[in-house]
């Protein structure tokens, strides 16, 4: 499966697609979101990620859903992790078959993502 590469930092999107079009400064946005200016500045400048708390606050402010912001953050972090050198990993599938292990399959339902 090919995923989109070069995911921008979610803070960059927050700055360019939300704060700038709304003509909100970091100071005003941080006050409206109930967080410190330094904390929001770190997110907007790519020094910190969007936390689940910030995602919920953005949703409550009417700026997309918390799940949207968390997905952006997760995709950004996963892409960075896949680009970093990782140790050699032995697949566990043969060991699982030998021990007759079965893992539960997580299925999404509409109620679990509301």
pLDDT tens by residue, 10-68 = 999 999 999 999 999 999 999 999 999 999 999 999 999 999 999 999 999 999 999 99
- Give the integer Cα–Cα distance in Å for 56 and 52: 6
Dist. CA 11–CA 18, nearest whole Å:
10
Sorting pLDDT into bands at 50, 70 and 90, what band is 114?
Answer: very low
What is the token pair recorded at 30?
């941080």
Higher-confidence residue: 7 or 9? 9
Q: How confident is the model at residue 105 (pLDDT cuts 50, 70, 90)?
A: low
Residues 66 and 56 sit within 8 Å (Cβ to Cβ) = yes
| Tokens, residue 14 | 């927050």
Burial class, 54, CB count within 10 angstroms (exposed 0-12 / middle 13-18 / buried 19+)? buried
Tell me how far apart the alpha carbons of residues 6 and 97 are, in angstroms, rounded to a whole number.
37
At residue 15, the pLDDT reads: 97
pTM of the predicted protein model = 0.75
């Amino acid at each position: 499966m090919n995923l989109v590469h070069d995911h921008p930092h979610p803070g960059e999107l927050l700055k360019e697609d939300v704060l700038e079009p709304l003509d909100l400064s970091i100071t005003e946005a941080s006050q409206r979101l109930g967080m410190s200016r330094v904390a929001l500045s770190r997110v907007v400048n790519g020094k910190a990620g969007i936390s689940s708390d910030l995602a919920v606050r953005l949703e409550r402010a009417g700026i997309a859903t918390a799940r949207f912001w968390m997905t952006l953050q997760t995709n950004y972090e996963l892409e960075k992790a896949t680009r970093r050198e990782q140790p050699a990993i032995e697949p566990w599938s043969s060991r699982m078959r030998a021990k007759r292990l079965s893992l539960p399959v997580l299925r999404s339902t509409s109620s679990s993502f509301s």
